[in-house]
């Protein structure tokens, strides 16, 4: 068991392979204090670290109780009685009382991990993880709060969630319920976060932590292109391979707040959860509210260690379904090939080229339904446009099937066009505020997915389409942020529940889809990478990374994405040149190498390729079949970052058995002194010999690791190489 309770010290201990997390029960009153999180410590008498004296615990000085509340490291802080830092829980009673503070009531420790009803969450059996369920209470209100902590046996991750139970006997209103809090000392930390916009998702930001509150958030109703529900405290001296990192990531796809607050004597409070702005939840007596899950990762081996923990956790304990352990099919998507301008024959032509080259699936993107020939109409009218596609999707999918291609389909279930039959019949199905003109984005409005009848209507129409054709893959798109967030079906006092109810509705629909079509490969997408988060990964093992398909911009986008998310979750396609996003032209080979580590495909008109480009496709597909599994299932290392050095980029994946390593190198700018650069290759077995596919040279893992690998000598810009190191033999252990 990786969790235990020391009754003499009243200390809970959670261990993962390299980390220890300690919680203490303080005083007769039973405050839950945070003691320690960090490098694994074997000692069983760690209660001495509790801040009893300096934060004046009531047993030490009850005269100065306010100072205690305002400085003591709390495990899950309430508000209104003296803690001026960010609250995790805020409650209002019918009389307007706004205060709560939690103390210990009881606990249980058990193997495995409970499900979070209606929400995405990591999972694991008794052999994988242990859970501490700490029951706390506000004694004045009679409120019950359960704090869940799951420690994984083989991964340095602790997953947390919170359930509030209204045992007060009266209705209450929750106005803040965050999912995790970490009160800790500052260790000269930098704050690491991911930012961006459409086409520049997940750019890495690392800066010195300052006083006050700083962090990331979204109030867009989606996790967003702009900020990721991820933040990490990184020791100022930490590098890719060394130093301590404390990271949090939110298993949720809607509004969030991730924040670090440096307060008073320089101590820190790090929190993550649903953003309290525009949030409330009304609880009748006996009702419960389940907050989403927050993942905490600790690494004492720098950023690579953090990344490995997230990748292993998400691949092994978040992604589900038949594709969890299966290679993802290569595909061609017609979006950048045709946009809305297609018919059956044009798609079949692309299909013929795809089949001849060995591509496995064709995905029909936006424009197959209603009268949608541009983005001005028809969202919500999920019936096939037989003018464009005579014989419908069944005929198309059967014809593709005869060529040996599987069929995938794009849908955007959460949206409605004002110019649609659905909107004309049910204008109240859209989010909008009576008397105010709703804000359009891409000519569309957001459906009120919080309403069951709306979900049922949309789901049934999409279900009918999928049942009609032989659909192996669905790309679930979502192309705008929420605005005018008002539901015709909710009482005025419940409107603050709408953002979260919307997310619960989306999750319910995706779960239903997976239940009805258990073999389906689902890919989430949101205007590119606007909803690339662990919540979505619970339903779809892969997500479209960005609408920016330029190979060079993608280096940065994929670097930020892979910092947290496994390569097996990143949709990555070879697109046409000049790039539709930035007009840059790059060699076909480089586009292939940049896409190879992700879920590989083509996003261009295969009928318009040059003979030389066409001839390269079978080789790219062979590389994907051979090395895709190493990128997808192995350990990922960032060797060099183009966003940092502005010249070249290199990543490496090492198979778990350390017998094969694949290096993806891109020389973005030609530069004389690259000739003398050697990059160290971590992750190899030091006493094993490996042969390089680039030079044929054989060296030990130690030589590649400490001596490094000279960069390939390439002449020109935007050039790339895939270098494979294969194990040749094991050296005898040194005497
Ligand atoms: C946004 C997606 O990111 C694109 O790949 C494409 O599917 C379009 N939507 C279609 O409208």
Length of the chain: 735
pLDDT at 53 over 90: no
Percentage of the chain surpassing pLDDT 70? 100
HSE of 387, CA atoms in CB hemisphere, 13 A: 7
Per-residue pLDDT band at 123 (split at 50, 70, 90): very high
Answer whether 547 contacts ligand 1 (Cβ < 6 A): yes
How far, in Å, CA of 418 to CA of 422, rounded? Answer: 8
SS3 annotation, 422-464? HHHHCHHHECCCCCCCCCCECCEEEECCCCHHHHHHHHHHHHH
CB 116 near ligand 1, within 6 Å:
no
Q: What is the pLDDT of residue 735?
A: 58
DSSP annotation of 705: I
pLDDT band at 158 (very low <50, low <70, confident <90, very high): very high
- CB-based contact 727:659 (threshold 8 Å): yes
In this structure, the residue with its CA closest to atom 11 of ligand 1 is 366
Look at residue 619 in the predicted model and tell me its pLDDT. 98
Ligand 1 centroid – CA 79 distance (Å):
43
Q: Whose CA is nearest to atom 10 of ligand 1?
A: 366
Using the predicted structure, report yes or no on whether residue 150 has a pLDDT greater than 90: yes
Report the separation in Å between the CA atom of 528 and the middle of ligand 1, taken as the mean of its atom positions.
7
- Confidence check: pLDDT of 1 > 70: no
Q: How many CB atoms sit inside 10 A of residue 634's CB? A: 23
Strand partners, 180: 272
Query: Using one digit for the tens of pLDDT, what is the confidence trace for 471-496?
Result: 999 999 999 999 999 999 999 999 99
Instruction: State how far the Cα of 9 lies from the Cα of 13, in Å rounded to an integer.
Output: 11
Supply the pLDDT for residue 672: 87
Whether ligand 1 lies within 6 angstroms of the CB of 335 is answered as yes
* pLDDT higher than 70, residue 653: yes
Is the distance from the beta carbon of residue 477 to the nearest atom of ligand 1 less than 6 Å? yes
What's residue 451's pLDDT?
A: 98
Apex CA 203: angle with CA 708 and CA 259, to 5°? 115
Q: How confident is the model at residue 723 (pLDDT cuts 50, 70, 90)?
A: very high
Q: 678-679 and 635-640 as β-strands: parallel, antiparallel, unpaired?
A: unpaired
pLDDT value for 342: 98
Q: How far apart are CA 556 and CA 566, in angstroms?
A: 15
Confidence band for 28, pLDDT divided at 50, 70 and 90: confident
Mean residue pLDDT of the chain comes to 97
Mean pLDDT of 26-35: 94
Query: Known catalytic residues?
Result: 477, 547
Ligand 1 centre from 224 Cα, in Å? 15
The string of pLDDT tens digits covering residues 350-401 is 999 999 999 999 999 999 999 999 999 999 999 999 999 999 999 999 999 9
Q: Please determine, for residue 56, whether its predicted confidence score (pLDDT) is greater than 90.
A: no
Query: pLDDT-based confidence at 733, cuts 50/70/90?
Result: confident
pLDDT in the model for residue 148: 98
* 525 CB near ligand 1 (under 6 Å): yes
Tens-digit pLDDT profile for residues 168-205: 999 999 999 999 999 999 999 999 999 999 999 999 99
Express each pLDDT in 544-573 by its tens digit: 999 999 999 999 999 999 999 999 999 999
CA of 685 relative to ligand 1 center, distance in Å: 43
- Digit-coded pLDDT (tens) for 70-84: 999 999 999 999 999
Give CA separation, 95 vs 91, 170, 172, in Å.
11, 10, 10
Tell me which residue has its CA closest to atom 6 in ligand 1: 335
- What's the average model confidence in pLDDT over 256-277? 96
Contact 236, 190 (CB under 8 A): yes
Query: The whole model's pTM is what?
Result: 0.98
């Amino acid at each position: 068991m990786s969790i235990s309770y020391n009754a003499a010290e009243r200390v809970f201990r959670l261990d993962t392979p390299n980390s220890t997390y300690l919680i203490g029960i303080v005083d007769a009153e039973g405050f839950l204090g945070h003691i320690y999180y960090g490098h694994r410590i074997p000692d069983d008498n760690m209660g001495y670290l509790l801040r009893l004296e300096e934060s004046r615990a009531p047993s030490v000085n009850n005269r100065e109780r306010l100072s205690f509340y305002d400085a003591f490291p709390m495990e899950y802080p309430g508000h209104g009685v003296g803690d001026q830092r960010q609250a995790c829980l805020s409650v209002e009673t019918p009389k307007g009382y706004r205060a709560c503070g939690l103390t210990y009531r009881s606990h249980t420790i058990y193997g495995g991990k409970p499900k979070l009803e209606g929400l995405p969450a990591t999972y694991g059996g008794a052999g994988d993880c242990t859970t501490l369920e700490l029951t706390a209470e506000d004694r004045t209100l009679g409120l019950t709060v359960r704090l869940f902590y799951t420690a994984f046996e083989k991964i340095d991750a602790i997953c947390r969630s919170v359930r509030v139970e209204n045992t007060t006997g009266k209705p209450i209103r929750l106005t803040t319920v965050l999912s995790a809090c970490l009160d800790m000392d500052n260790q000269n930390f930098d704050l690491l976060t991911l930012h961006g916009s459409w086409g520049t998702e997940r750019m890495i930001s690392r800066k010195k932590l300052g006083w006050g509150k700083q962090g990331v958030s979204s109030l867009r109703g989606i996790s967003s292109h702009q900020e990721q529900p991820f933040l990490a405290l990184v020791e100022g001296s930490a590098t890719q391979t060394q130093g301590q990192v404390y990271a949090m990531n939110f298993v949720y796809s809607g509004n969030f707040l991730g924040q670090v607050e440096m307060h008073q004597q320089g101590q820190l409070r790090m929190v993550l959860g649903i953003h309290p702005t525009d949030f409330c939840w009304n609880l009748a007596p006996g009702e419960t509210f389940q907050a989403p899950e927050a993942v905490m990762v600790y690494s004492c081996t720098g950023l690579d260690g953090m990344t490995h923990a997230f990748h292993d956790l998400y691949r092994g304990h978040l992604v589900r379904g038949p594709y969890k352990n299966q290679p993802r099919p290569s595909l061609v998507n017609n979006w950048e090939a045709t946009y809305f301008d297609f018919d059956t024959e044009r798609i079949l032509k692309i299909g013929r080229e795809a089949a001849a080259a060995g591509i496995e699936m064709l995905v029909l993107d936006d424009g197959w339904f209603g009268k949608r020939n541009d983005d001005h109409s028809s969202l919500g009218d999920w019936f096939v446009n037989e003018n464009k596609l005579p014989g419908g999707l069944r005929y198309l999918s059967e014809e593709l099937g005869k060529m040996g291609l599987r069929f995938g389909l794009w849908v955007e279930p959460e949206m409605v066009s004002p110019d649609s039959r659905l909107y004309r019949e049910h204008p109240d199905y859209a989010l909008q505020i009576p008397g105010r003109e709703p804000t359009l984005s891409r000519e569309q409005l957001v459906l009120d997915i919080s309403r069951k009848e709306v979900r049922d209507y949309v789901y049934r129409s999409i279900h009918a389409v999928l049942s009609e054709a032989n659909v192996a893959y669905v790309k679930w798109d979502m192309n705008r942020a929420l605005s005018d967030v008002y539901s015709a079906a909710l009482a005025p006092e419940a409107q603050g529940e709408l953002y979260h109810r919307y997310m619960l509705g989306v999750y319910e629909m995706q779960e239903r889809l997976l239940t009805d079509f258990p073999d389906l490969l689902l890919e989430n997408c949101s205007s590119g990478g606007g909803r690339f988060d662990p919540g979505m990964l619970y339903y779809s093992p892969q997500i479209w990374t960005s609408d920016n398909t330029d190979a060079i911009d993608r280096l940065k986008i994929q670097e930020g994405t892979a910092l947290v998310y496994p390569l097996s979750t990143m949709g990555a396609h070879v697109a046409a040149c000049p790039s539709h996003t930035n007009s840059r032209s790059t060699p076909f080979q480089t586009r292939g190498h940049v896409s190879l580590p992700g879920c590989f495909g083509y996003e261009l008109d295969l009928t318009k390729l040059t003979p030389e480009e066409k001839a390269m496709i079978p080789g790219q597909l062979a590389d994907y079949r051979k090395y895709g599994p190493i990128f997808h299932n192995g350990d990922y290392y960032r060797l060099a970052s183009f966003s940092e050095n502005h010249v070249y980029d290199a990543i490496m994946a090492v198979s778990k058995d350390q017998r094969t390593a694949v290096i993806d190198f891109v020389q973005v700018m030609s530069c004389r002194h690259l000739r003398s650069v050697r990059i160290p290759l971590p992750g190899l077995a030091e006493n094993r010999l490996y042969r390089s596919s680039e030079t044929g040279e054989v060296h030990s893992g130690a030589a590649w690791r400490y001596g490094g690998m000279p960069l390939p000598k390439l002449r020109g810009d935007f050039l790339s190489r895939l270098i494979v190191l294969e194990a040749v033999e094991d050296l005898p252990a040194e005497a």
